[in-house]
């Protein structure tokens, strides 16, 4: 299965964290049998969808270059409770799964979507 990576840190001071996320996800992807075809990254808070790397990733969904997007954790993708359903719908309509080594299933799966939204809000408020 082909996969893209999405990596995010809150600010430019955490550039090394982007590299660490990428190494971790590439290693995990390899062990799980994914072929990593691309990587997208942002150095910005996860409270908005208006991030260059995320927008490029979303634009690439229809190209069918990948079947899944790998993230280190759901909070790397989004930290805004109100936007979770919109983003989940975007991925589901494209037929692209969002997968994290720390989540039991597709990040935006039916039952998981509620937990992801709550986790995103918790992370935004307390982390």
Structure-token pair, residue 22: 């990428």
Report the pLDDT value the prediction gives residue 3, as an integer from 0 to 100: 98
In 71-121, at which residue ranges do the beta strands (DSSP E only) sit? Answer: 97-99
Q: Which CATH superfamily is domain 2-126 in?
A: Resolvase, N-terminal catalytic domain (3.40.50.1390)
Backbone angle region of 98, left / alpha / beta, with phi > 0 → left and psi within -120 to 50 → alpha: beta
**CB distance 26 to 33 below 8 Å:** no
Residues 6+ apart with CB under 8 A from 118: 81
CA atoms within 13 A on the CB side of 94: 23
Alpha helices in 46-109 (DSSP H): 52-60, 74-77, 84-94
The series of mean pLDDT values per 10 residues for the chain, 127 residues long, is 94 78 97 97 89 96 94 86 84 93 74 66 73
Q: pTM here?
A: 0.83
Delimit the domains of the chain by residue range: 2-126
- Cα dihedral across residues 29, 30, 34, 40: positive or negative: positive
């Amino acid at each position: 299965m082909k996969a893209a990576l999405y990596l995010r840190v809150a600010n430019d001071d955490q550039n090394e964290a982007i590299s660490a996320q990428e190494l971790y996800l590439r290693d995990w992807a390899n062990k799980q049998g994914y072929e990593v075809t691309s990587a997208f990254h942002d150095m910005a808070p996860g409270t908005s969808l208006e991030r260059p790397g995320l927008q490029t990733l979303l634009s690439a969904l229809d190209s069918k270059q990948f079947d899944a997007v790998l993230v280190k954790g759901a909070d790397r993708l989004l930290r805004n409770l109100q936007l979770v359903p919109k983003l989940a719908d975007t991925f589901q309509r494209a037929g692209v799964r969002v997968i994290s080594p720390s989540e039991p299933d597709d990040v935006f799966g039916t039952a998981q979507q509620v937990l992801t939204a709550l986790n995103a809000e918790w992370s935004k408020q307390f982390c």
